[in-house]
Amino acid sequence: MTEVVLFHHSQGLTPGVAAFADELRAAGHTVHTPDLFDGRTFGSLDEGQAYVERVGFGEITERGVRAAEPLPQDSVYVGFSLGVLPAQKLAQTRTGARGALLFHACIPVSEFGAAWPDRVPVQVHAKEDDPFFTEDADAARALVSASADGELFLYPGDQHLFADNSLPSYDPDAAKLLTQRAIEFLGSR
> What's the CATH number where 75 sits?
3.40.50.1820
How far is C-alpha 48 from the chain's CA centre? Answer: 16
Nearest-Å Rg of the Cα atoms of the chain is 15
pLDDT at position 2: 95
Angle made by CA atoms 145, 151, 155, in degrees to the nearest 5: 125
The residue range of the domain holding 98 is 3-187
How do residues 8-61 score in pLDDT, each as one tens digit? 999 999 999 999 999 999 999 999 999 999 999 999 999 999 999 999 999 999
CB 60 within 8 A of CB 31: no
For residue 169, the tally of other CB atoms under 10 A from its CB is 17
CA distance 93 to 73: 11
- d(C-alpha 123, C-alpha 132), whole Å: 18
Q: How many whole angstroms separate alpha carbon 182 and alpha carbon 70?
A: 24
The 10 Å Cβ neighbour count of residue 105 is: 26
Contacts of 168 (CB under 8 A, 6+ apart): none
The total domain count for the chain is 1
Tell me the C-alpha distance between 59 and 65, whole Å. Answer: 10
Task: Please compute the mean of the pLDDT values over residues 92-101 and round it to a whole number.
Answer: 96
Q: What pLDDT does 106 receive?
A: 97
- Given phi > 0 = left and psi -120 to 50 = alpha, else beta, which region is 57? alpha
Strand partners for 3: 30
Please give the share of the chain, as a percent, with pLDDT higher than 90: 93
Residue range 170-182: average pLDDT?
A: 98
CA angle in degrees (0–180, nearest 5) for 183-16-138: 65
| pLDDT for res 113 | 84
The reported pTM is 0.96
Q: In the beta sheet, which residues pair with residue 76? A: 4, 99
